[in-house]
Structures are given as structure tokens and as C-alpha cells.
Structure 1
Amino acid sequence: MQEDFRLILDLVSVLTAAGIGGLLAALLSQPIILGYLLAGIIIGPLGLGFIKELVQVETLAQLGVAFLLFTIGVEFSFAELQKVKNISLGGGALQIILTILLTVIVSLTMGWVSSPTQGIFLGAILSLSSTAVVFKALMERNETATLHGQVMLGILIVQDLALGLMLAVLPALNKPVEEIGVAVGFALLQLGLFALGAVLVGKGLIPRLLRLLARTESRELFILGVVSLCLGIAVLTGKMGLSIEMGAFVAGLTISEVEYADQTLAYVEPLRDVCAALFFAAIGMLIDPVFLWKNLELILGLVALVFVGKFLIITPLVALFRYPLKTSLIAGLGLAQIGEFSFVLASEGQRLELVSQKVYSIILGTTAVTLLLTPFILRAMPIIFVWAESLPWLKFWLAQADIPLEIAEDLPFKDHIVVCGYGRVGRNIVQLLHDRGYSVLVIDQSEQRIQQLREAKIPYIYGSAGSLQVLEKARVSQAKGMAIALADPMSTRLCLKRALELNPELDLVVRANQDKDIELLYQLGAREVVQPEFEASLELSAHLLIGLGLPVFDIQQDIQHIRYSQYLTLRPERSPEQVSRDLQKATEEMNSQWYPLPANSPLVGMTLEETDLRHLTGVSLMAIKRSSGEQMDYPDHKTVINEGDNLLLVGEPDELAGFEDLAKGDVAIPTENASCLWLLVTKNSPVAGKTLAELSFKQQFGILIQAIRREGKYIRFPDESWDIQGGDHLLLCGNLSSLNQASQWITSAENTITLDPKILSS
């Protein structure tokens, strides 16, 4: 077969196999990279043999990784790096150095390598994590703007930058020991000169070239010019003795700060995606499945060692830079794999004879397995944390990590507004409230934003808004309102739920990161949910309609109707199956369970409004599965609970236990004509220091004490042995006249009937 036709046939075979593999992986809800790698293994020369020539395969992989690195360079943002510059530059560099150092020590001790230079090379391979896999996983979960997302991406950026240095120094490691120092120095000098030239070209020539291409208004010419630039610089670095991969990355960097960077990225992204598929499929073709099977035990052992080792290096490093324990743990787990660019280092190392073919195959196999496992680990992290918090000793350590890192001195005591998150939205909220003279307190866990709050002299708490201890320090129980504008969906849900535990009557507005979160947030108790994209649509439409002459009052009424309907008019229609799937996914990330309602439960026949489950037990009812098989997702307050129902509940373990007591009839439910109110017990109240048995609320007033809220702890359905302390909040349930009599007695030391009680249900 002619050589040129053979190359075309191989290219078509690789792309077709990658497409089929990726499609099957997507249909099975698996990472697409898994499909690419398996497709490559199957059709490769070591699999079924559709692709015969390894040289051509490696050429395809090199082309693919060149474009991958080019687009990563274009996407590189010094502004994004600035947000987490300390952990990125300091932590990222320390992580690489420590990984290399420990690898040298362990590999020499275990006899895996015969020289320190080989240990350094192996450490360099292990030090890199997967930008492609981690970034894609964060994008899918909408977590790129979260604190742990920024930390992980910041470290990954530094690793990508370090790859260029590693590729430059790598040839020097192949020199005799006495010449290594000179060779490394020469490589660094060569790299420095190349970097200087790239900066000069990037400042002077590249912007002019892109402007010239853009002026032609030809998409084809622009793409052709950009691709030629990428490959031209890559070939130049190859001729200089450096790697073409590093040249492609530098080419991307020269464009990243130019005004046409976004346009360039938009044009080359489709090419990047094709090249990514080509690259991972080509990597799969280099993997020998028979070798993997014969050395499976060794490779799985190395995979475990890599995950544990990198986790134990990265987690303490992130914590050392004063990040919360949860953020440190997520970063440690998320970056514990070996990156796709380690394939590039391994291939270059084999070419330079730094490793044998067997070691090279083991590296390929170990790297491939860690890449395949990473998406599953990232998906499972919320479930892992829910499980960890159910264990008393782990919950204690996780709770210790939620203690505020810093608290401003001038915190407001009551009637203030708590704003969670000081990003663009949170900053605007604070500005508007501050200008109108309202007392504001901000919760954030970004050092950069906390510094901005210090400079602006705005009261703040440095910590996680999802932490009960942080919310207590923010005096949420005495707050007038709260706005949650966090980037992390999980932190948003935790913050919402725990804030309502401290203050069930809190006027709470939440920003929904995605439209599918709207029902969930309302079900968890939000008073108002705002979706920024829908709000922008409403404002733009209002402006256009006013310009067309429609009455302003009618337009405002229409907009309010859309808001009251939770944006249903604007939201894309979703099937019940899609809603159930999204609900199941969301509740898996929280502490949830399906609870079969016991026979003859006192809840049967009551509406959700009558049961008042959130105030009485703290749980949120997310779905009801009827005995007929019908499922009601996000039931409203008029929904009636029927016998045989299966209830999907979200809550802490003690909240779920409180609900079980209620459902079994072990504790009393307020009658139909009863109301409930929260009441604060002052230190000089006549009930302070006495037990519920001594006070006999039921006998004296005919009311029930359904819960006690004490320093953030929620005591549900307390028995007669519980004592009342000053500062406690009591949930009293009974008829209105009895509640007034009891509240007058409890607060008699202050000669007032009630302390601003609000009727919760009636």
C-alpha cells in the first residue's frame, strides 16, 4: 500500500474508532476519555492491529498534543493565576520539587531505577497531573469558579509551565554525571533565550500578524495563519533541540494576552477537540493490553502508591497556605493522578534511553489507569464527604476545619444582612446595601477577597459559608436577611440549609448557578431564587418592549409573573425523567435517604404545610414515590401524604432521626388548630436553669416544646430531662392563647409578651 494512502487510512481509522468509543462512553455516562483510550487499545498494533505502524501513531499523538498545549497556552490567563498566585506559584512549585525528591529516594531505595538522574526523570513524570481530565470534570460540575476549582487549576497551570522547563532540561539528564550540571545550565540558557525571543515576538510581531489576518475578515485565512504560527514555532523549538510540545505551548502563550485571543480560541477549539481525541486514542494504541494483564498486580499497586503519595503531598501543601481542610482534601484527591503530558515526557525519556521499554510500558499503563479513575473519584467526592461526616471521629476533624480563619473586629450584632460570597455579584449587593445605610457582614474564603474587605473596612468572616460554626459567628439567628452568591453549588445548598436551621424565618435570597437548581433551592427553603441569565433576559426584554410602546405597568406585571412562576416560561422544558435524574444527582451530594412511611403514621392524610417538617425536624422533603409507582418531584405545600408513600428526605443524621420519631408517632404533632413560634430565652428568664419536667409546659399551658436551638445545635423533640439555658431558642407549638400565656411567662423578666415571634404554621 502506498505510504501516503496508508497515513490517510490510519488517520481515518483512529478518528472513527475514537468517535465510536467516545459515543459509547457518553451513552454509558462514563468519561469520554475512557472511550478514546479503549478505542486506541483495540485498534492499535498491540490490539487487533488495524493500525500497523507505531511510528505513524506516535507522529499523530505528537501532533495532537502539540495542538492541545497550544490551546492551553491560549487559554492561560495571568489574571486567573493572580487570584490564587500564592498556592499556584508557591504550592505548585513545592509540589513538583517534593514529588521529584520523594520519587528519587523511593525509586533508588526500591531498586526501580539505577541512577539519580533516572529517579529525577521518573519524579518529573509523576509530578504532573491531568489538566484535560480535571478541567473537564470541573466544567461538567460547574465548579471552575469554586475555591477548590481555582486552587486545582492554579496548580495545574504551574505544572503546565513546568512541563516546558522539564522538556528543555530532559536531554541534559542523558549526559555523563560530571557533565550534567553544564548540560542543565546550557539547556536553561537556551530556554531563557528562547523565552526572551518569544516575549519580543509576542509583543511586537504576533499582535500585528493577528490584526492583519483579522482585517481580511476571512475565517479560513485566520485559522490557517494561527495553525501555521503554532506549528512553525513548534518546529523551530524542535530544531533548537527543545521539544515541539513546548514550542506549541509558548506559541499559545504569545497569543493569550493579545486582543484576538478569544477569537483565536473560538476558531481552534474544534481543532483542539479533534486533536485531543487523536492524542488519547494514539496513547491507547501505545498501550499493550497483554503486558497490562501480565503486570496487573504491579500496575494496580503503583496506581495506589501514586494516588496515596500525591494526595499526601498536595493536601498538606494546600492546607499550609491557609485553605480549609475540605478544599485541601478535594485538591489532594483531584490532582492525585498522573497527567496526560507525562506521556510526552515518558516518550521523550525512552527516546533518550533514560528508561527501558519495560519501564516505559509500566509508566504508560499506570498513567492510563490513573487517568481513567480520576473522573470517578471526582464524581464520588461529595458522597465520600457525606459518608465521612457520618463517622463521629471524622466529622469532628472536618468540623474543626470549618472554624473561621479570621473574624473582623467590628461585626454587627443584629438586624444586619449577611452576604455569602464577595465575587462580582456579592460585591454589587454589598455596595447597594452599604450605600443605603444597611449593616452588612460578608462571608468569604478567598484570601484575595478578604484583603479587599479589609481595605474597604467592611465587616467579614474568613471561612466557609457552608459551615455551621461560621454562620453562628455571623449571628445569622439575629440577622434580617441573607443573600447567597456562591460559585459552588454544594456550598450554596449547605449554606441555605444551615442558615435556616439557625433562623427559620430568615429572608433568604439565593443565586442559582444553573436553571436546574431552581426547584431544589426553593425546596430547601429559599425565599427567593435568582438566576442571572434569566434576569438578564427579562431586563433586555423589558427595555425593548418599553421602546415598542407597551405600558410599563403591564411589562412589570408580566415580569413579576415570570419570577413568581420560578422562570418556568423561560426554562427549557424537561421531561419528568430528566428532572428525577437531576434531583437524584443533587441529593446524592447531600445527606439523603428514601424513607418508607410506616403503616398508620400520624402524617398520613396531612399536607406538607400542616406537617411543617422543616421547622419541626429540619429535614427537606424532595420527592414522594406513591405506592402506585408515581413519583412527585419537588412536591408543593398542598401535597397530601398518603399511606404507603416512600419519601426522599435531605437532612443531617439527627434531623432524619427526628423525622423518624415524628413519622412513627413517638412524638406529638401539633394539631390542626395549633401554631408554632420560636422564642428566645433570656439569661434572667424564670425558666432558665430548669428542666422541662420541672416546667411542665404541657400541663400548665397545653403546649409542646418541639425543639431547642442552642449555640448552633438543634435538639429535636427533647425529653423531660432537658434543661433550659439562657440564650436558648424554643420552638413552642399550641393554640394562640396558650402560646401567648406561655411566652408572657417565659419573658416576664422583661415585661413583654413575645420577642417578635412569627407564626410558622396555622
Structure 2
Amino acid sequence: MADVTATHLPALITDLAFILGTAGITTLIFKKLKQPLVLGYILTGLLVGPNFDFMPTITDGKTISIWGEIGVIFLLFSLGLEFSFKKLARVGGTASVTAMTELLGMMTLGYVTGQLLGWDTINSLFLGGIMAISSTTIILRAFDELGVKTQKFTGVVFGVLVVEDLVAVLLLVLLSTVAVSQQFGGEALMLAMLKLGFFLSIWFLGGIYLVPSFLRRARKLMSEETLLIISVALCLLMVVLASEAGFSPALGAFIMGSILAETVFNEKIEHLTRSVKDLFGAVFFVSVGMLINLSTLAEHLGPVLLISCMLILGKFTFSTLGALASGQPLKQAVQVGVSLTQIGEFSFIIATLGVTLQVTSHYLYPIAVAVSALTTFTTPFLIRSAEPLYHFLEKHLPSHWQNRLDTYSSSAQSISHASDWQLVLRAFAQIMITNSVVLIGIILLNIQYLGPLVADTFPGLWGNLLTVFLALVLMSPFIYALSIRRIGSRAYSRLWRDKKYARGPLLGLEICRIVLALLFVGLLLDQLFSIQVALLIAALLIGIIFPLLTHRLRKTYDRIERRFLTNLNERELENESPVKKILPWDAHLAEFRVSPDSYFAGRTLLDLALRERFGVNIARIERGSRVIPVPRGTEWLYPADKITVIGTDEQLAQFKPHVEIDTSVMDLAMDQPDISLRQVVVDSKFPFLHQSIRDSGIREKTNGLIVGIERHGHRILNPEPSTVFQTEDIVWLAGDTRLIKSIDG
């Protein structure tokens, strides 16, 4: 009789099979109902959790929890791939002001709400963080379903979401610090923020310098399999570094994602890791649902309803006020306000952090999930109500308020001249901050790793001298840049010629640079000598030796800077940037893809007469790798051309069905455009004052198209070439952003 050996499966495999099978069925149902899949995952966790005795459940919750933590890492890594710090720098003042107003308002409101409910400080702080962050997933789904992606306000919403992404990661770090230390004072938070700012800076600078260079050198060897393995390895490496520095693993994943977002491999990495993120993300959200206790939720139904109402009203109020403060018209401000009235995946992560650290009460987690579910369902209805709500406000607001809002909105969108002092101070700040961060990083590297390693090999004085010598070699290009390198800008030269008022402050700034460099060198030498001797040696190095090596140090620093900037801008150089919308009057920019079935395909712009038929203008045509800025009437449109169109919401809505047949408008990215629609104020510095549009050659010099001129309160749309620029004209110009700024001073 043959022996039959039963195969024993580990609990991990049976639990995972059960969870994914249940999640698959649930998400099919939610897909059919056109609801977010995240809610389906949470419902799955609720079903397989401890709430229902008649339902089968998992056997090893600890292992699933570990997989959930891996899911958070990949969610944050994916978010970093979509984020990039350059994108944050380019969202503009409108989105930044709106986001910061909303975030500060909601964190305060959340804390106050927690205190009113009788919660302790830590629960109230976590509630503020949970209520502050809107859901990118839910907003994008709602925009898709409602077909509003071509409207002006969506560009502001996307910009706000970019700022919120970074703030959410910072919140994870700050809440972790507060929860662990139980210190709520301003000094502890300030130290935590300074530490976080330093590590973010050093990781970003070092990552941009090293990672894209490595990937570029290994490009010929990069198969999809190799790229996936290297990307995941880099992600986990940064996770380890972040943990070693005392931060959450999620921060490390986010940082590495944002570094890889600047490389030309970004889209490919995002594609390769999407399935990994979806798998582990599903397990994470299922684990979210498993932590919900229905009896606790029923017991706290009142706080759920109260927090939901406070969240919707608070987000609408603060987002609308922020948009108005940033210069948005009332209609767009209301649309922005109603779009951000929900919480989602990041709020779950913040709530999970409280559970993991065991610092929040058992009721906060299910309350956060319930509030998210309620606000998810209300979001589409609120977005639909934006226009009626705007008309209601317009009807009941006093006329002088409306006039002030209109005037403020128009003036806020004007291009303002940056003074020479602003330009010079910005240059000084950039030099001092970036080089100081690098120098502090090298000193810490020397203290923590290089010094002990050399001391083990060469103990005693000679080992210390060798350590200092190696550190100085690494530091010297950055000390040169911090203390000696000249700021070669025209603004600096103009100020330097003003001996009476400007030269003294400039000398003061130069002295500050030198003193700062002396302190860094002295800090390094302090381990061998007294502080007085260390500063004396530092003065000799910076005052005598470094000037003798200026040529070599300049070449070294220029090479480092050139590689960094090449890596930072590599993706832009190889890929065309999409267009972001700017808001003059009622017009903005949107992108469309010419369908092969469109009547427009195979015809010239002159034949189509788009301005006469729809009131729109074509600002750019992208055809493969070729870009045609401000095309002439003789230019043809071909299938698959990507066109950038200027028009109002209504004009674009009428135009869209004719150009895109059975396709949806392409997603609007949040990167800074190559071209934009800008407002230029004509003053005494305007180079084409008292010249006609034709004679000025402004079209050729900016690759631009003058859409309109506002003169003494009257608007001239599509002005004639003979129109002469006059003082105080407000010119709306569509063209290359950098070229437009160059003519404006």
C-alpha cells in the first residue's frame, strides 16, 4: 500500500488566496456600480474580519499586517513617481495658496472638532491630519464620470493635490515624532521639521546626482525585468535609510519615487511597478477594513456624522477662500471648493499609523473610514452643485463685493516685475542653502562612517589627519561655491554700481557667505584642534589656499553642477511637457488628440475656420517629435496630432466632440507647460511700447499669439496686427513661457 503524504499549505498562502478571491468578487461588484475600488477592498476586509461569525476569516492576521505595510511602501513609492519635487515647484502660486489655506484651516478645524468631542490631544491631532488630505483617486474618478476635465478649475485642483501629497508625507513624519515623543511643544516640532527638511534636501540632491547617472550609464543593459528589480531595490534601500535616520519607511519610498520621477525611465518604472502596487495596495486596504469594529462604529455614529459635516463645510470654505485669495474668480473658486470635500487613501494611512504606534483610541480608525465612505459618495453630487451654488452666491453677494473680487482676480494674475534685490537675494539663498546642506551631509558622513573607518585602520593622530584631509577634499568644491564663487547676474551688477545704497548690503551678504564657510571648516577641524585654532586654519584655507586653487575648484564644481542640472532636466529634454492651464478672463488652455474619424483631420486651419465657428484658437500642434508653436492658417491637421487649444469652458465643450470622436480628453498633467497663456502689463519698461503688433515682431520673438488686449477697462479680442501697444495695456499672450517672461523684464 503506497504512502500518501498530505501537503500542508502555510497559512499565508491560504489567507492570501481567500482575501484576493473575496476582494476580486467585491471589486467586480463595485466596478459594476461605478464606485471606487478602494471601498470594495475595505468592504472585503470588513467581511473577512472578526465582525461576522458566520463568515470565514483569515488565520494569521500578523502576516497580512506585514503585507499591508509593504502595500503602504509601494503606494507611497507610486505616489512619488507621479509627484516629483519639480512638479511641486511648478504648481504655481494659485494652487500653493489654495492648498496651504485649506490644509492649515482643516488641521485646525479637525483639532478643534476633536477637542469639542472630548478627545485627548493626540487623537485630536490625528483627526486634524486625517481631515486635511483630499483623495486624488476619488477626485479623478469623479472628474472622469462628470466629464469636467477640460474645465479651468481642474488645473487648480490638480495643483492643490500635488501640494497635499507632500504635506501628507510630512504629516506622517511629524505625527510619528509627536506620537513617540509625546511632546507637543513648538520647539520639538521645529526641531523635527528642521531635521526632516535637512534629510529631504540631502536625499534629493544626492539622489538626483547619483541615480539618473547610474541608470543612464546602464541604459543599454536595462531590460524590463532588470529595471523592475533595480527600481524596487532602490525603493527599499531608501526605506532602510529613512528608517535608520528615524523616519517612517513610507517617507523613504516617497523620496525614491520622486527621484526616479525626474528620470527618463519614469513612465516605464511606473508601468512596471503598477501591478505590484495594486496587489500589495489591495492587501493594505483589505487590512484597513479588517480593523473596523462595527459595534464601535455604531456607538460613535454621532461623531461620524458631525465630522462628515464639518469636513464638507470646512473643506469647501477654506478651499474657496484660498482660491479667492490666490486670484481665482468666484465661479472657479466655488468649483475648486466643492471638488476637495472628501478624504481617502492617505487618511487611511494616517489612521493606520495611529493604530500601529498604539497612540490613538480604538474608535478613531473606524470613524475615519466611515467618514471617507460618506464623503466619497457625496463628492459627485457636490461637484454637480457647483454652478447652482455659484449662481446663488452671485445673486446674494453685494455688487461692490463682486466688483472687488473681479478687480482682485484680474490684478492677481498679472505678471509682476521681480526687483533686482529679489533676484539677488534668491541667488544668495540658493547658494547658501544648497551648499550648506551638502557640507553638513559630508561632515555627518565623516563623523559617523569615514572617521571610525580610518581610525580602525590608522589609529592616532595620523588617522585623524587623514580623515580631515579626505573630508576637506570632498568639501572643497562646495566651500569654494559657498564662499568665493561670484554671482554672475545682471541684477547683481546693477546693484553693485549703486555705491551709495546697495554696495554695503551686498558686501554684508558676501561676508556672511565667508563666515558660514569658516564655521563649516572649523566644525570639521574641531575634532583635532581647539575652536580658535580650527577657525584660524579655516581662515588660512579659505583666504589663501582656496583662492590659489580657484580654477581647479571652479571646474570641479561646474562639472558637479552641470551633471546635477542635466539629471534634473533630462526628462524634460527627452519628453514634451504637457500644458497647464492659466486663467485669463474666461479662457484657458486644454489639450486634445485629433481622432482619425474627425472632420478636422486632413484639412488646413484656414479651411476649418475654428475661431469663427467655435471661438477657439490653436496655440500649438504636436506631431510625433515635431512641435509647431502658434501654427499659421496654412498648417494642416493630421490624425493623432495633439493640439493645444485656447477657449472658454463652453467653447471647448462645443469644440471637443468634433475633434475627439468616441475618446475622452487626455489627462491634464501638473507639470509646468512649455507654453502658457500669460498676462503682460505694458509699462515704461515694455520693449514694444508705442509699436504695432506687426512692427514689434512679438509673435516671432515669443512664438506667441496675442489673444486679447484690455485697455482702460475695455477688452479687444483677437486684435488687428495694426493695433499699437499703449501704456497700461494688459496684453494676453499665448506662447513660450520663458520667452514671454524675457520680454517682460
Q: Give the TM-score band, short-chain normalised.
A: 0.5 to 0.7
2:262 is aligned with what amino acid?
E
Map of 1:35 onto structure 2: 40
1:323 Cα offset (Å): 0.7
State which of 71, 81, 87 in structure 1 corresponds to 2:78: 71
Map of 1:60 onto structure 2: 67
1:302 is aligned with what amino acid?
I
1:319-330 mapped onto 2 (5 Å cutoff): 319-330=324-335
Kept in 2: contact 1:64–1:275 (CA 8 A): yes
Map of 2:165 onto structure 1: 160
* Inter-CA distance 8–212: structure 2 relative to 1 (3 Å threshold): farther
Kept in 1: contact 2:240–2:249 (CA 8 A): yes
1:161 Cα offset (Å): 0.8
- TM (normalized to structure 2)? 0.52
Which has more helix, going by share of residues?
2
SS in 2 for 1:112: coil
Map of 1:427 onto structure 2: none
1:251 Cα offset (Å): 1.0
Quick one: distance in 2 between partners of 1:103 and 1:137? 25
Matched, 1:93 2:100: yes
SS in 2 for 1:165: helix
Kept in 1: contact 2:99–2:164 (CA 8 A): yes
Quick one: distance in 2 between partners of 1:265 and 1:447? 22
1:102-140: CA deviation from partner (whole Å, max 9, x where unpaired)? 3333433x143233x543332122111112222343355
SS in 2 for 1:341: helix
Quick one: distance in 2 between partners of 1:533 and 1:12? 49
Quick one: distance in 2 between partners of 1:177 and 1:535? 58
> Sequence identity, in percent?
27
Quick one: distance in 1 between partners of 2:639 and 2:327? 36
Quick one: distance in 1 between partners of 2:7 and 2:345? 32
Matched, 1:463 2:585: yes
1:331 Cα offset (Å): 1.8
Map of 1:701 onto structure 2: none
Q: Which runs of 5+ in 2 are unaligned?
A: 1-5, 413-578, 594-610, 619-634, 644-656, 665-745
Map of 1:316 onto structure 2: 321
1:316 Cα offset (Å): 1.1
Quick one: distance in 2 between partners of 1:533 and 1:11? 50
* Inter-CA distance 75–179: structure 2 relative to 1 (3 Å threshold): closer
1:112 is aligned with what amino acid?
G
State which of 237, 262, 268 in structure 1 corresponds to 2:242: 237
Matched, 1:534 2:639: yes
Kept in 2: contact 1:234–1:245 (CA 8 A): yes
Quick one: distance in 2 between partners of 1:392 and 1:199? 46
Map of 1:211 onto structure 2: 216
1:538-687 mapped onto 2 (5 Å cutoff): none
SS in 1 for 2:359: coil
1:145 Cα offset (Å): 5.9
State which of 589, 592, 614 in structure 2 corresponds to 1:508: 614
Kept in 2: contact 1:346–1:360 (CA 8 A): yes
1:103 is aligned with what amino acid?
G
* Inter-CA distance 403–486: structure 2 relative to 1 (3 Å threshold): farther
1:323-362 mapped onto 2 (5 Å cutoff): 323-362=328-367
1:156-206: CA deviation from partner (whole Å, max 9, x where unpaired)? 211211122222222332367768455434433442343233124312321
SS in 1 for 2:134: coil
Quick one: distance in 1 between partners of 2:180 and 2:281? 33
1:27-48: CA deviation from partner (whole Å, max 9, x where unpaired)? 2233333322222222233343
Map of 1:45 onto structure 2: 50
1:506-534: CA deviation from partner (whole Å, max 9, x where unpaired)? 5436699xxxxxxxxxxxxxxxxx99783
1:720-741: CA deviation from partner (whole Å, max 9, x where unpaired)? xxxxxxxxxxxxxxxxxxxxxx
1:75 Cα offset (Å): 1.4
Quick one: distance in 2 between partners of 1:219 and 1:392? 55
Count of residue pairs the alignment pairs up: 446
1:574-633: CA deviation from partner (whole Å, max 9, x where unpaired)? 9xxxxxxx9xxxxxxxxxxxxxxxxxxxxxxxxxxxxxxxxxxxxxxxxxxxxxxxxxxx
1:232 is aligned with what amino acid?
L
* Inter-CA distance 185–304: structure 2 relative to 1 (3 Å threshold): closer
Map of 1:137 onto structure 2: 142
1:317 is aligned with what amino acid?
G
1:80 Cα offset (Å): 4.7
Map of 1:112 onto structure 2: 118
Map of 1:609 onto structure 2: none
1:382 is aligned with what amino acid?
R
1:63-85: CA deviation from partner (whole Å, max 9, x where unpaired)? 22221211121112556545542
State which of 377, 382, 392 in structure 1 corresponds to 2:384: 382
Kept in 1: contact 2:70–2:280 (CA 8 A): yes
- TM (normalized to structure 1)? 0.51
1:260-303: CA deviation from partner (whole Å, max 9, x where unpaired)? 22222222233333344333333222223343344334312321
Matched, 1:17 2:19: no
Matched, 1:365 2:370: yes
Kept in 1: contact 2:97–2:325 (CA 8 A): no
SS in 2 for 1:194: helix
Q: Which runs of 5+ in 1 are unaligned?
A: 409-445, 451-461, 466-483, 490-504, 513-529, 539-565, 575-581, 583-762
SS in 2 for 1:355: coil
Higher relative contact order, structure no. (Cα contacts within 8 Å, ≥ 6 residues apart)? 2
2:82 is aligned with what amino acid?
E
Q: Which has the larger radius of gyration?
A: 1
**Of 193-202 and 254-263, the range deviating more from structure 2:** 193-202
* Inter-CA distance 256–158: structure 2 relative to 1 (3 Å threshold): same
Quick one: distance in 2 between partners of 1:309 and 1:136? 22
1:140-165: CA deviation from partner (whole Å, max 9, x where unpaired)? 55655643222112122112111222
Quick one: distance in 2 between partners of 1:263 and 1:32? 24
2:614 is aligned with what amino acid?
L
Quick one: distance in 1 between partners of 2:333 and 2:7? 55
Quick one: distance in 2 between partners of 1:145 and 1:79? 24
* Inter-CA distance 355–34: structure 2 relative to 1 (3 Å threshold): closer
Quick one: distance in 1 between partners of 2:344 and 2:404? 29
Quick one: distance in 2 between partners of 1:297 and 1:488? 47
* Inter-CA distance 63–82: structure 2 relative to 1 (3 Å threshold): same
SS in 1 for 2:58: coil
Quick one: distance in 2 between partners of 1:336 and 1:200? 35
Kept in 1: contact 2:591–2:642 (CA 8 A): no
Map of 2:305 onto structure 1: 300
Kept in 1: contact 2:330–2:390 (CA 8 A): no
1:321 Cα offset (Å): 1.0
1:381 Cα offset (Å): 2.4
Kept in 2: contact 1:45–1:54 (CA 8 A): no
1:169 is aligned with what amino acid?
L
SS in 1 for 2:345: coil
Kept in 2: contact 1:17–1:39 (CA 8 A): yes
1:224-257: CA deviation from partner (whole Å, max 9, x where unpaired)? 1111211221233234331111111111011111
Map of 2:425 onto structure 1: none
* Inter-CA distance 351–275: structure 2 relative to 1 (3 Å threshold): closer
* Inter-CA distance 213–52: structure 2 relative to 1 (3 Å threshold): farther
Kept in 2: contact 1:152–1:331 (CA 8 A): yes
1:155 is aligned with what amino acid?
V
1:94 is aligned with what amino acid?
T
Matched, 1:199 2:204: yes
Kept in 2: contact 1:287–1:365 (CA 8 A): no
State which of 263, 268, 277 in structure 1 corresponds to 2:273: 268
Quick one: distance in 2 between partners of 1:326 and 1:354? 42
SS in 1 for 2:246: coil
Quick one: distance in 2 between partners of 1:84 and 1:93? 13
